[in-house]
Structure 1
Amino acid sequence: MGMSVSRPSQWLYLTGSCHEVGHTWNPSCIYCSCEILLFVFLGAIKIYLPLYLLSNVRRLGDLRWVLLSLLPNVLRSAVFLSINGGGFVAFLCAVRRLFGRFYFYSSAFLPAFLASLCAIMVERKSRRALLAGYVSCLSIEIVHSVLKSKGLIKSLPFGEVLIFSLASAVLLHRQGTNRSSSQDGVGSLLSGLFRPPVECPINICNPIVTNLVWGGAWGFFCGYLVQSLLSLLSYWKKIKNKTASIKDWLGNKRSVKFGLFLASFVTWFKLSNWLMILFAVPRNLRMIISGLIAGLSMIFVRSSALSLYAGWKAMEIVYFMAVKKGYVKSWYYGDALLYAFSTAVVFHSVFFEGHHVREAYWKFMIDVTRSRLLHIQFPTVDHFGTNSSIRPNQFIQKLSSSSD
């Protein structure tokens, strides 16, 4: 296996075969592609089946709907994800044969783009925008981390708070001025969070104070409950191994902080909105300002992932408003191309600079491929100068220490 040392670095190349660099566990390209496709398909079933069941729990009594709609949708989504995984290996080998070597951008980005484009065309059109939004946020987070590590950009102090505040202004303005907004996912979440005013059981209660208190309490309950459930899996293993107790799980600081985040989000929005009503501020302006103030609640959690997702949804709303008014044109395959490009960025980063990828996503990639990802010859890929071995080595060391 050879290595050219020409410059610039993106024109460096590896002359090793796809078996020597990529699917090192088996020399057959077809076998490895099908194996990863099967592994990802089975993993996707485990992900999508409970997800679709929970999101459609009210319709589970309709056997006809379960057989003709739910199960086909689960299988379709599983096929989509499996093509994304197995297709990456297939295109990795095909592109290697086409160029005769591994170049920087043909090693992972191009195969991932082609595989993702094929995969997303299998998925339902109604889910493409959601998937594109998720991986776009993830890719932006990765690119930001890469650029920051290279000293090309600097972090903006409280940047995630600013992004979330601006996004909240757009989301809450849409929520307060558009009755049909509660039909989508974010709208439904906001509708559930800002429940109808609660009647005070005591006549002497001030309605405004009562609803502020109840609204804040409901927000805290939702935030605390959601974060506690999300952390249950990791704490369950610790409780089982007697390295943590139920008290530790219930008193988890992150759960409390997330509760405070949603409590302040609801309370600050309601308080600022009612104050502006007293001064007869127009409804549209009132929703925007109240949203900006409510968004400052991000100070309690400082989550870049949540801020980026909210920012993406806000940009999506602005875009569709511009389309509706004729300022820009809508492109039918825009979400598919965005998904393919963003996923290619993520796969490229996993291949070359995994230490910039969110740990949860890295673990997901390991689990869904049944650790086949760790068989890539990352030390060889290091010749590109990207330190690609950092994250795999960290993961293996962590795995070894936990087994001891």
Structure 2
Amino acid sequence: MNAAYVHGKRWAHGAPAPHTVFVLPPSQQSVFLLSLTDMAALSKIPHSCYEVGHTWHPSCVQSAADITKGALEVSFKIYAPLYLIAAVLRRKKKDYYLKRLLPEILWSTSFLTTNGSLFIVFFCILRKLLGGFYPWSSGFGAALPASYIAILLERKSRRGLLTIYMANLASETLFRMAVTRGIVKPIRHGEVLLFCITASIFMFLFRSNDGLKGFAFSALKFIIGKEEIPTHSNMADSVGTPAAIETEHSQVSAEKADHKRKTLIAYTRKLLESICKHGPRHRCCKHYQDNCISYCVKGFVRMFSIGYLIQCCLKVPSAFRQMFSKPSRLPSVFYNKENFQLGAFLGSFVSIYKGTSCLLRWLRNIDDELHALIAGFLAGVSMFFYKSTSITMYLFSKLVETMYFKGIEAGRFPYFPHADTIIYAISTAICFHAAVMEVQNLRPSYWKFLLRLTKGRFALMNRELLDVFGTEASRNFKGFVPMLDPRYTTVISRTVLPPGGDAKLG
């Protein structure tokens, strides 16, 4: 068997030799370049699936088994803690842990494992059926049937959420592809502008009667507060009247006086309550316990604290892993810049929305749900504190979904059965296609997820052979060329050592 010399050491075929570049003799280089030109003209490359895809092993069956084994392990590690934490937060009973927890974990694990393993299976099948690789077959063509079959294995209750996520990711990927090709030009701070528009419409629906339902309404009620929800006759009683609240405060004050709790904390609390209560408040405002100024300030402090704590909690696991090796990094959990950025984003969003709503009530002397359009748009400017394309695209996708279902209820849009499975399959196929052909246009976090799911094998594809399609497939791989066994190759290329001797490495 021929061998190459890597850094002065003899390296046999079949063993992994990452980040190596082979130099062919001039005569073979001209043949190789000529063949690439012909392939580009035909928009098809005749290489085998071993030469392009599963370069770590020439067997299609063994390669699929490798992907399945790795994906199964990673999928279980992802879903086991996810379902366990969700069960704890939802306060599930003992019967759930004994009978339903493990089956649900295995159910979702099989879905994710199938999605990864069937991709390489259809990758090989299409190569054998087509006799080569077309620009669409190595990514989109292989991922489409794999994703469709996989989503059918997932529980129906989770398909909608997965579809929204992947549709959001696919939209972002398509936009980046269009920018790369010069079809569209990116708008400066475009994610902030889109967030402003999305927030404006969401807040209008929140203020409208029967505008939002379910989780979206509950989430906005938690963030904004019940004072901004639509006015109903039965809700006015639950909120209370100023007179009733004043009576309650007088009773509390009397109890405090009787118990003689004249501590510094009590005095401070009383002073703050007095400042909050005595101040400008429009008659249409429903924040009866606060004036308009303290109402906005309290909203900022509350959501700033929540955003800060959320970001801290997200950094705790990584901080614990570094506690013993790098203990000096532990304080960064609490003083990290991102903690304050997320807090400032959430806090300013709420305070700007509430402040604008109060101002419009003062100016127009009425409480109108149309105020939410202006207040929501201005509140969206808060994203300058925490720019996130992922958040913007997710909320925009949820808005499109909400408007579509409202259109179905109104009889204006048709209902398509199994639309979620079809959208998921197409969206995932787009993302897999980007991962194969132009990973530079894929969201970095999703690329890292694919590497984790495949144990790094997704990066071992021979993308230099795919460069002939003009997508710069190998741009982010620093000239990586896998070492292939010539016994299982079909076309001469610089990834294969020429017969009759060793090749020099440059």
Length-normalised TM-score, structure 2? 0.72
| 1:271 Cα deviation from its structure 2 partner | 1.3
Per-residue Cα deviation, 1:203-236 (whole angstroms, up to 9, x for no partner): 3423033332221111111212222333445555
Task: Indicate the residue corresponding to 1:144 in structure 2.
Answer: 175
Cα distance in structure 1, aligned partners of 2:142 and 2:312? 38
Which residue number in structure 2 is paired with residue 203 of structure 1?
Answer: 274
2:308 alignment partner in structure 1: 224
Q: Identify, as 1 or 2, the structure richer in helix.
A: 1
What's the counterpart of residue 465 of structure 2? 380
1:156 to partner: Cα distance: 1.1
Question: Unaligned 5+ residue runs, structure 1?
Answer: 397-404
Q: Distance in 2 between matches of 1:178 and 1:43?
A: 45
Q: 2:467 touches 2:474 (CA, 8 Å); kept in 1?
A: yes
Tell me the distance in 2 between the aligned counterparts of 1:129 and 1:158. Answer: 29
Q: Unmatched 5+ residue regions in structure 2?
A: 1-30, 228-238, 240-244, 246-268, 278-289, 482-506
Q: How far apart are the structure 2 equivalents of 1:58 and 1:370?
A: 31
Q: Partner of 2:342 in structure 1?
A: 258
Distance, in Å, in 2 between the alignment partners of 1:353 and 1:45 is 29
SS at match of 1:284: coil
Cross-structure match for 1:247: 331
Greater mean deviation of Cα atoms: 103-112 or 62-71: 62-71
- Does the CA contact (< 8 Å) of 2:205 and 2:211 recur in 1? no
Q: CA RMSD in A?
A: 2.8
Q: What residue number does 1:114 align with?
A: 145
Contact 1:173/1:287 (8 A) holds in 2: yes
Q: Greater CA radius of gyration, 1 or 2?
A: 2
Match of 1:64 in 2: 95
- Please, which moves more after superposition, 225-234 or 73-82? 225-234
Task: Summarize the Cα distance change of 1:310–1:76 in structure 2 as closer, same or farther, 3 Å threshold.
Answer: same
Change (3 A) 1:347 1:58: closer
2:130 matched residue in structure 1: 99
| Contact 1:193–1:219, Cα closer than 8 Å, also in 2 | yes
One of 317, 322, 325 as aligned partner of 2:410: 325
Q: 1:191 aligns with which of 201, 217, 221?
A: 221
Question: What SS is found at the alignment partner of 2:158?
Answer: helix
Deviation at 1:58, TM superposition (A): 4.3
Residue number in structure 2 paired with 1:353:
438
What CA distance in whole angstroms lies between the structure 2 residues aligned with 1:145 and 1:244?
Answer: 39
Give SS of 1:24's match: coil
Give the distance between the partners of 1:239 and 1:142, measured in 2 at CA.
Answer: 37
Q: 1:195 to 1:281 in 2, by over 3 A?
A: closer
**Alpha-carbon distance between aligned partners in 2 of 1:130 and 1:222, rounded to the nearest angstrom:** 24
SS at match of 1:276: helix
- C-alpha distance after superposition, 1:29-51 (max 9, x if no partner): 22322331232122122112222
Paired residues of 2:40 and 2:469 also in contact (CA < 8 A)? no
State how far apart, in whole Å, the 2-side matches of 1:105 and 1:153 are.
Answer: 22
CA distance in 1, matches of 2:196, 2:120: 41
Shift of 1:238: 6.0
Higher mean C-alpha displacement, 300-309 vs 137-146:
137-146
Question: Where do 1:277-292 residues align within 5 Å?
Answer: 277-278=361-362, 279-281=364-366, 283-292=368-377
1:34 aligns with 2:58: no
Q: Which residue of 2 aligns with 1:343?
A: 428
* CA deviation vs aligned residue, 1:104-136 (integer Å, no higher than 9, x gap): 101111110110111111112222221111112
Report the secondary structure of 2:54's partner residue.
coil
Aligned to 1:311: 396
Contact 1:60 1:66 in 2 (8 A): no
Secondary structure at the counterpart of residue 108 of structure 1: helix
SS across alignment from 2:47: coil
Q: Which moved more, 1:186-195 or 1:230-239?
A: 230-239
Separation in 1 of the partners of 2:53 and 2:390? 30
8 Å Cα contact 1:4-1:13 kept in structure 2: no
Q: Which residue of structure 2 aligns with residue 399 of structure 1?
A: none
Q: Secondary structure at the match of 1:391?
A: helix
CA spacing shift, 1:72–1:340, aligned 2, 3 Å = same
Deviates further, 144-153 or 210-219: 144-153
CA distance in 2, matches of 1:395, 1:284: 58
TM-score (norm 1): 0.88
Compute the displacement of 1:390 (Å).
2.6
Aligned match of 1:174:
205
Counterpart residue identity of residue 313, structure 1: K
Equivalent pairs counted in the alignment come to: 394
Tell which deviates more after alignment, 386-395 or 305-314: 386-395
SS of match in other structure, 2:308: helix
Query: Per-residue CA shift, 1:46-89, capped at 9, x if unaligned?
Result: 11222222233245551222344333222211111111100101
Q: Is the 8 A contact 1:133 1:312 kept in 2?
A: yes
User: Against the structure 1 CA distance between its residues 394 and 285, is the aligned structure 2 distance closer, same or farther, given a 3 Å change threshold?
Assistant: farther
Q: Does 1:159 align with 2:243?
A: no
Matches within 5 A, 1:267-278: 267-278=351-362
* 1:251 alignment partner AA: Y
**Structure 2: distance between partners of 1:25 and 1:69:** 38
Task: State the percentage of identical aligned residues.
Answer: 32
CA–CA distance in 1 between the matches of 2:440 and 2:347?
34
Cα gap change, 1:30/1:281 in structure 2, threshold over 3 Å: closer, same or farther? farther
Which of these residues, 276, 279, 299, is aligned with residue 215 of structure 1? 299
> Does the residue aligned with 2:100 lie in a helix, a strand or coil?
helix
1:394–1:331 CA distance, 2 compared to 1 (3 A): farther
In 1, distance between residues paired with 2:196 and 2:391?
A: 11
1:308-335 alpha-carbon deviations (Å, 9 max, x no partner): 1111111111111111101111112111
**Structure 1 position 181, deviation (Å):** 4.3
Classify the secondary structure of the residue corresponding to 1:387. Answer: coil
Which has the larger displacement, 295-304 or 142-151? 142-151
| C-alpha distance after superposition, 1:244-287 (max 9, x if no partner) | 62333322222211110000111111111222333245533122
In structure 2, do the counterparts of structure 1 residues 60 and 219 end up closer, same or farther at CA, with 3 Å as the change threshold?
Answer: closer
Matched, 1:334 2:405: no
Structure 2: how far apart are the matches of 1:176 and 1:41? Answer: 45
